[in-house]
Structure 1
Amino acid sequence: MSEIARYQKQFYYTEKTKSVAFRKQQLQTLKNMIEKNEQRIMDSLNQDLNKSEFDSYTHEIGFLYAEINFMIKEVKEWMKPTKVKTPASHFGSKSYIHKEPYGTSLIIAPWNYPFQLALAPVIGAIAAGNTVVLKPSELTPTVSSLLKQMVEEAFDPAFFTVVEGAVKETQELLEQRFDIIFFTGSVPVGKIVMEKAAKHVTPVVLELGGKSPVIVDEDAKLDVAAKRIAWGKYTNAGQTCIAPDYLYVHRNVKPELLSKLKDSIEEMYGKEPMQNDAYTHIVNQKHFSRLSAYLDNGELVHGGQTNPEELIIEPTVLDHISWDDSIMKDEIFGPILPVLTFDSLDEVITQVQTQEKPLALYYFSEDEQKQQKILDQLPFGGGCMNDTLFHVANPHLPFGGVGPSGLGSYHGKASFDAFTHQKSVVHQTTKFDFSFRYPGSKLGLSIVKKLLR
């Protein structure tokens, strides 16, 4: 691992990665690599997670195309030094922010969207002028192997390489001195990454998770709410970091919403979702067992069937859940939706405020004042009013968590910024030199007071 880090450091110091032409060329190479292997990518996603071609293209491949195209179009402008104002005390000088790559980057990817979440941060790293070492998840081995083959065929390993493996290999990579580390995954592992990075005071971007609520108020349009909640929750069998983790619904509309939610699930996945070839499976036996244990919580409203051999859990809704139930203790990360009931919005706000800050929050209401109240009083990484998940697909919106749900953000320009150091520089004139700035000037202090007051 040390040889990989050293090799990439040497390549970075050749200055090749810094030109706009090189960055655009590598981004285009990345796009060409994906286009050439589209079917292999979809096949590997199906092999590891039973993802349909629709889900694979929409949520993994298509997202990357849009991100690459956006970067190629904008990166030249983002790279330019930004001139900023200079105070009167600096008369004769000009001030700029220069956009400098961090250097060598380590990107550790998760298993739930194993292709998209591996390469999305790579796009930002390349656009910002860094070299890349990518560590895919060992829990999706087919995708991991394919990523390695594709990158080896398309890129110089001194610039972009893939390291496969599990915990041992990840630990060895974290011992190396990279210039920035980007990690997507669980909160406990994120803390380990942050601890390892602290050894060298390495900047980190942590994309984590948490219990993201979806709140449905009594004035919400229930047909729309039910469909959008079902889509947001059960996409990828709930194995999405920004999926609604639990539903908070107003007592007055709860029976109707739950009825419409069941209809929406059947409309999307059929009456026998475990027979639906387009329905994603749980990633492995460990996660299947963990999720199956939650099915004993509360009262079953819909779903609940499992197939241990195929690692399938039906889209499930559980009612009569309390904060004391085990399902409310940790992020679910699966197709099980617990339901809580409220009578007033203040009650919801008070309860959610006692929890860790979530990665996402979704609120359904036609009342703009209540929407604003949610925005003002509840901290969260990002989210939607009257929708779920959609904020993640806008390249003009930074995506990231807050507190335990994450550190830093990316997507679009935020990805470029995440892998870029803003170097502040004053360009000073030598045509004259003010004596009052130096010790010994009799008028110095009075002039300085006037300038800085």
Structure 2
Amino acid sequence: MNQTSPEKISETIEHLRRVFRSGRTKNVNYRRKQLEGIKRMVEENESLFVESLHKDLKKPKFEAIMIETDYILNNVREMLYNLNSYVKPTKVAKDLVLAFDDAFIQPEPYGLVLIIGTWNYPLIVCLSPLIGAIAAGNVAIVKPSEIAPNAADLFEKLLPQYVDKDCYRVINGDATVNQHLLKEKFDYIFFTGSQPIGRKVYASAVDNFTPVTLELGGKSPVYIDDSVIDQDFCYKRLLWAKFINAGQTCVAPDYVLCSDKVAQRFIRSAKLILKQFYGNDVQKSKDLTRIINDNHFNRLVNLLESSSGEIVIGGSSDKNDRFIEPTILLNCSIDDPLMKEEIFGPILPIVIVSNVDEAIQLINRKSKPLTLYVFSQNQSVIDKISLETSSGSICANDALIHLSVDALPFGGVGDSGFGVYHGKSTFDTFSHYKSVLIRGYNPLLEWVSSKRYPPYTESNLKRLLRVIKKRHLMPADSDWTVLFIFLLGALSFYFLNNLTQYLAAK
């Protein structure tokens, strides 16, 4: 992997700023052309992306296509379909005194943005924000994770072949490159990664008053209600979401809260389901991703060995293969080592609770999670958990699937991050929404608003307060609003025309 020098970083930043100031990226057709380039890049090189993900993570082709390449293609299609509507100014409601003036909100690009990706889903965390940054009219630097070097190298090689390299650059290197980047001033920073690194990114951004999106992680809990005790398909949904990418997913179910009765049923079902998923010899299955590197492997094995929970499924590992068998532990306490940090691996502890109230109490003792899952056939239970807990998102009776809904913003709250993206939210994240008022010279309304000028009088104050008093108005783009303004204009013309004729006759 290339190691970008500090001098090259500074030179790249200055170049990108010059190009942005030229206005090149503000042209909507230009943005569309770049988005189409991203689409062609993924379509024409899908096999290379799949191969790079397999080299870095032994990620199965099915997961690489379904969750990475096809996800990006749908991302860029959505942006292309809606770009013209996203860039349009939005009219807003006005007071009577401004009825003939233009008031609207105009999205504009921030300028130079920095996108720092992580390693677990290398394509998604780099390309999905980049799509939004391009659509909003920014120039961008993308820093992939050095922990997934094959994906990072491929990204650096391919991107300049499909988009304007004067406006979009990939910078590779280790953690020192990140440090050099964060010393520079950017107009927006989008970071995906761990909480400790996220704090450093945030601290660097504060020094330059740079707005930031932090997509972090956390312990995403699962509550299983007694009402689904015999619903095996619920367990299958949960286990798929947990063990896809070997549990190395920021919104993977992190631990289960349920009654002992549900736990016993869940364990019996899980043994059969995991056999269906991965066969009798899990390590030989081509459908299970490996742990990214030795450091993460050792961390997970140490967590597993230090836990006081009872291993009821799995537990084996192979360091040479960075393989950890999908593992479920029963009777973990809330203070167990597995419950202190995000697991980010194929290990699922079960904490026994007596009811939903106890589950809510335990969830609220911990930091606000990125996602919260609840499985229940009782809507009141789902509503109760949703209302009495706080999380970046909540998904009921399934897991991970909510990320496929473009219209649902995705992001954390509290320690799990802040800022959102997905669909239009990605465009919004990389756009500054500028308020604009353009006044005209309507004589009648100027006469009304002239009451604001000195010398001040009580009568002028009363008239002005009557005019500017807040009233329940129709939406700015309502047909009735348009008709009202037209009629007001017609009356103004009629009044002024007659006044002119009267004065002429006099």
Determine which structure has more spread, i.e. the larger CA radius of gyration. Answer: 2
Residue number among 296, 299, 304 corresponding to 1:287 in the alignment: 296
Q: Secondary structure at the match of 2:320?
A: coil
Question: How far did residue 89 of structure 1 move?
Answer: 4.8
Q: Secondary structure at the match of 1:182?
A: strand
Rounded Cα–Cα distance in structure 1 between residues aligned with 2:270 and 2:110: 47
Q: Does 1:272 align with 2:275?
A: no
- Once the two structures are superposed, residues 216-247 of structure 1 have per-residue CA deviations (whole angstroms, 9 ceiling, x without a partner) of 00002530221011101000000000000001
Question: How far did residue 131 of structure 1 move?
Answer: 0.9
Question: How far did residue 2 of structure 1 move?
Answer: 1.5
**Does the 8 Å CA contact 1:306/1:314 hold for their aligned counterparts?**
yes
2:170: which partner in 1?
Answer: 162
Alignment of 1:234-249 (within 5 A): 234-249=243-258
Residue number among 351, 354, 364 corresponding to 1:340 in the alignment: 351
- Once the two structures are superposed, residues 365-420 of structure 1 have per-residue CA deviations (whole angstroms, 9 ceiling, x without a partner) of 00111111111111111131100000111111111111111111001000000100
Rounded Cα–Cα distance in structure 1 between residues aligned with 2:374 and 2:192: 25
Q: Secondary structure at the match of 1:410?
A: coil
Q: Which shows bigger deviation, 240-249 or 14-23?
A: 14-23
Alignment of 1:317-396 (within 5 A): 317-396=328-407
The one-letter code of the counterpart of 1:184 is: T
Question: How far did residue 35 of structure 1 move?
Answer: 1.4
**Does the 8 Å CA contact 2:138/2:430 hold for their aligned counterparts?**
yes
Q: Does 1:107 align with 2:115?
A: yes
Q: Which shows bigger deviation, 249-258 or 239-248?
A: 249-258
Q: Which shows bigger deviation, 323-332 or 436-445?
A: 436-445
1:314: which partner in 2?
Answer: 325
Q: Does 1:70 align with 2:83?
A: no
1:153: which partner in 2?
Answer: 161
Q: Secondary structure at the match of 2:440?
A: coil
Alignment of 1:14-29 (within 5 A): 14-29=22-37
1:124: which partner in 2?
Answer: 132
Question: How far did residue 259 of structure 1 move?
Answer: 1.0
1:224: which partner in 2?
Answer: 233
- Once the two structures are superposed, residues 315-338 of structure 1 have per-residue CA deviations (whole angstroms, 9 ceiling, x without a partner) of 000111011111110000000000
Q: TM-score, normalised by structure 1?
A: 0.98
Q: TM-score, normalised by structure 2?
A: 0.88
**Does the 8 Å CA contact 1:302/1:316 hold for their aligned counterparts?**
yes
The one-letter code of the counterpart of 1:219 is: S
- Once the two structures are superposed, residues 124-147 of structure 1 have per-residue CA deviations (whole angstroms, 9 ceiling, x without a partner) of 111111111000000011111000
Question: How far did residue 91 of structure 1 move?
Answer: 4.3
Rounded Cα–Cα distance in structure 1 between residues aligned with 2:150 and 2:268: 39
Question: How far did residue 353 of structure 1 move?
Answer: 1.1
Q: Does 1:452 align with 2:469?
A: yes
Residue number among 37, 42, 50 corresponding to 1:34 in the alignment: 42
Rounded Cα–Cα distance in structure 2 between residues aligned with 1:65 and 1:251: 43
The number of residues matched between the two structures is 453
Rounded Cα–Cα distance in structure 1 between residues aligned with 2:465 and 2:442: 24
The one-letter code of the counterpart of 2:346 is: P
**Does the 8 Å CA contact 1:383/1:389 hold for their aligned counterparts?**
no
**Does the 8 Å CA contact 2:117/2:193 hold for their aligned counterparts?**
yes
Q: Which shows bigger deviation, 154-163 or 392-401?
A: 154-163
Greater helix content: 2
Rounded Cα–Cα distance in structure 2 between residues aligned with 1:377 and 1:140: 39
**Unpaired stretches in structure 2, ≥5 consecutive residues:** 1-8, 471-506
**Does the 8 Å CA contact 1:214/1:363 hold for their aligned counterparts?**
yes
Rounded Cα–Cα distance in structure 1 between residues aligned with 2:165 and 2:204: 24
Q: Secondary structure at the match of 2:227?
A: coil
Rounded Cα–Cα distance in structure 2 between residues aligned with 1:299 and 1:440: 83
Q: CA RMSD in A?
A: 1.2
**Unpaired stretches in structure 1, ≥5 consecutive residues:** none
Rounded Cα–Cα distance in structure 1 between residues aligned with 2:84 and 2:259: 49
**Does the 8 Å CA contact 2:386/2:394 hold for their aligned counterparts?**
no
